[in-house]
């Protein structure tokens, strides 16, 4: 045991408990025939919780963690503390980037050895832990070698480095029993079109993703490959802009049956959408995978990665997740940072515990909305005209036959209320 969390004990479900307990998240509560834990599949993000120093665009490190530094001993200490936190939170999953868990090393080979050694260490920790790996990913955006992109870099040596890195990270994800592998392309975009061959860069990104899928099949990794869309930041423009853009990209490269989406709440907002829009669209396209449940501050307009704290928003998101059939390999990852003044170990616990409670409340509301059925029956009723044989035949016909019906049948459409206020009032009964 480290002494980082001192005497903090694993949190219990207690609706009337004190500050450090779950008031709503009850892992064993049965909802729609399944335990709440198995519905929500919470994950801690290693990077923001254990590797992020607390900087913002105007200032650097505020957190002083005993494991900060680039040695293997400190990397092991970091893993020890991480697994202690997983136990305190009783969280079923975690996620990492290569850069979060190992010292960089001065050559690729040294970095690889560091990584492989720490992956072994994490594997040994997982043997005595309930917490499993939701996904692994590669950080191909922080180091200066990636400043002009990763797989989309004008320099083929960077492409090679990326290939070597992703191969290593998929191997490690496979070894640790990870359920997904994520690609988020923070630098896969551009700063200015004046120096960018957009066509070439998209081709490189497409070929890279095909290579990732080919490798997954080659080694028999049966987890899902997920792309995480984000419109901009750090790049001015990113190719994985939003779900619709990524779907077009997947179709172009023949990957629409191989790759699914990891959708982040804050990224949806940055793209000018709602979270539930991105979820509903991914679901309708058959590419819904997993979620990063962290929000942005609506005033600051950048990716502040805060823990969720808005039950109605979360409820509408889980409503879409449930309509998509719930998670299979995916889960609810908190890709969330503490605020930089939240210096204490207890802040890390409170941030996650509060987020888990918010999600539990939102999820329960979503279940009730679905079980109540009014929203879905009103939606079905709105489209009920399409159930008639004439309407269905029209879709199989052409413009001419549709046009002929108008006069032959004396068609004169009668506008109907969309009932938005009534629907919003219904949602309000549950949240």
Q: List active site positions.
A: 97, 100
Work out whether 303 is an interface residue with ligand XLS (CB under 6 A).
Answer: yes
Helices and strands, counts by H and E, the chain:
16, 12
Which of residues 119 and 183 has its CB atom nearest to ligand XLS in the complex? 183
The residues of the shown chain that bind Ni ion, judged by CB under 5 A, are: 264, 292, 335
Q: Which does 188 bind (CB under 5 to 8 A by kind): Ni ion, ligand XLS, none?
A: none
Contacts with 167 (C-beta within 8 Å, 6 or more apart), sequence order: 215
CB of 204 to Ni ion, least distance (A): 22
- Give the β-pairing of 332-334 and 42-45: parallel
Name the binder of 65 from ligand XLS, Ni ion, none, CB < 5-8 A by kind. none
The only residue of 292, 313, 320, 357 in contact with ligand XLS, by rule CB under 6 A: 292
Phi and psi dihedrals of 42, rounded to 5? -70, 145
d(C-alpha 302, C-alpha 233), whole Å:
8
Of 87 and 242, the one with the shorter C-beta distance to ligand XLS is: 242
**Is residue 228 a contact residue for ligand XLS (CB under 6 A)?**
yes
When CB distances are held under 5 to 8 angstroms depending on the partner's kind, the choice from ligand XLS, Ni ion, none that residue 137 binds is ligand XLS
Asked if residue 35 lies in contact with residue 44, where contact means CB atoms within 8 angstroms, the answer is: no
Terminal alpha carbon distance of the chain: 41
- State the nearest-atom distance from the C-beta of 273 to Ni ion, in Å: 14
Contact pick of 335, 356, 364, 431 for ligand XLS (by CB under 6 A): 335
Provide CB contacts within 8 A for 384, sequence distance 6+. Answer: none
Residues 6+ apart with CB under 8 A from 90: 10, 11, 27, 130
Closest CA relative to residue 161, chosen from 233, 219, 94, 105: 105
Tell me the sheet residues that pair with 264: 292
Parallel/antiparallel/unpaired status of strands 224-227 and 180-183: parallel
Q: How far is the CB of 163 from ligand XLS (least distance, A)?
A: 17
Among 49, 114, 137, 332, binds ligand XLS (CB under 6 A): 137
Smallest separation, CB 126 to Ni ion (Å): 22
Among 100, 201, 242, 264, binds ligand XLS (CB under 6 A): 264
Beta strands in 85-232 (DSSP E): 93-97, 132-137, 180-183, 189-190, 224-227
User: If contact means CB under 5 to 8 A according to the sort of partner, which of Ni ion, ligand XLS, none does residue 273 touch?
Assistant: none
CB of 292 to ligand XLS, least distance (A): 5
Residues 344-403 that bind ligand XLS (CB under 6 A): none
Interface residues with ligand XLS (CB under 6 A) are 97, 137, 182, 184, 228, 230, 264, 292, 303, 335
């Amino acid at each position: 045991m480290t002494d980082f969390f001192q005497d903090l004990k694993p949190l219990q479900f207690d609706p009337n408990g004190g500050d450090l307990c779950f008031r709503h998240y009850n892992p064993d509560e049965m909802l729609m025939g399944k335990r709440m834990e198995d519905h929500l599949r919470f994950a801690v993000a290693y990077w923001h919780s254990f590797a992020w120093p607390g900087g913002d665009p105007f200032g650097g490190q505020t957190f002083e963690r005993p494991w900060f530094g680039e040695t293997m001993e400190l990397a092991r200490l970091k893993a020890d503390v991480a697994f202690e936190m997983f136990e305190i939170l009783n969280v079923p999953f975690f996620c990492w980037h290569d850069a979060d868990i190992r010292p960089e090393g001065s050559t690729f080979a040294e970095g690889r050895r560091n990584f492989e050694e720490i992956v072994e260490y994490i594997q040994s920790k997982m043997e005595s832990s309930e917490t499993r790996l939701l996904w692994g990913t590669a950080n191909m955006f922080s180091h200066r070698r990636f400043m002009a992109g990763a797989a989309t870099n004008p320099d083929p040596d960077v492409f090679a480095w990326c290939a070597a890195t992703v191969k290593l990270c998929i191997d490690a994800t496979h070894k640790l029993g990870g359920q997904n592998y994520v690609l988020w392309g923070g630098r896969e975009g551009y700063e200015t079109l004046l120096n960018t061959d957009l066509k070439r860069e998209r081709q490189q990104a497409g070929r890279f993703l095909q290579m990732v899928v080919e490798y997954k099949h080659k080694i028999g990794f049966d987890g899902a490959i997920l792309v995480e869309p984000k419109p901009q930041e750090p790049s001015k423009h990113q190719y994985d802009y939003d779900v619709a853009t990524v779907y077009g990209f997947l179709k172009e490269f023949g990957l629409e049956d191989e790759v699914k989406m990891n959708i982040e709440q804050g990224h949806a907002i940055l793209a000018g959408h709602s979270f539930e829009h991105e979820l509903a669209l991914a679901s309708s396209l058959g590419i819904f995978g997993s979620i990063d449940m962290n929000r942005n501050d609506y005033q600051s307009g950048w990716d502040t990665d805060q823990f969720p704290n808005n039950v109605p928003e979360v409820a509408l998101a889980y409503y879409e997740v449930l309509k998509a059939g719930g998670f299979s390999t995916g889960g609810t990852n908190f890709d969330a940072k503490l605020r930089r003044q939240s210096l204490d170990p207890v802040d890390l616990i409170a941030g996650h515990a509060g987020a888990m409670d918010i999600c539990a409340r939102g999820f329960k509301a979503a279940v009730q909305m679905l079980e109540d059925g009014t929203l879905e029956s009103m939606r079905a009723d709105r489209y009920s005209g399409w159930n008639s044989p004439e309407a269905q035949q029209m879709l199989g016909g052409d413009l001419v036959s549709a046009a002929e019906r108008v006069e032959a049948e004396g068609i004169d459409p009668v506008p109907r209320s969309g009932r938005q206020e009534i629907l919003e009032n219904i949602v309000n009964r549950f949240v």
